[in-house]
Amino acid sequence: MASELGVGTTFWFDLALAQSDKDELLTKAINNSDSFSSSEIK
C-alpha cells in the first residue's frame, strides 16, 4: 500500500494464476469477441 496526503492511496496485490498456453488464450479471446459482438446486435 502506498498513500500520499491529498493525492490518494494505491493498493496492490499478487495473484497466483495458472499459466496458459498461447493457443488457449487465442481461442478464449476469439470466443469472447464473437459472443460480445453478437450480443451487441439487436
pTM of this prediction? 0.31
Distance of CA 18 to the CA centre of its chain: 14
pLDDT given at position 35: 56
CA distance 42 to 35: 13
Tens of each residue's pLDDT in the chain, 42 residues? 899 999 999 999 888 887 777 888 788 788 776 655 555 454
pLDDT given at position 22: 81
End-to-end CA distance of the chain: 44
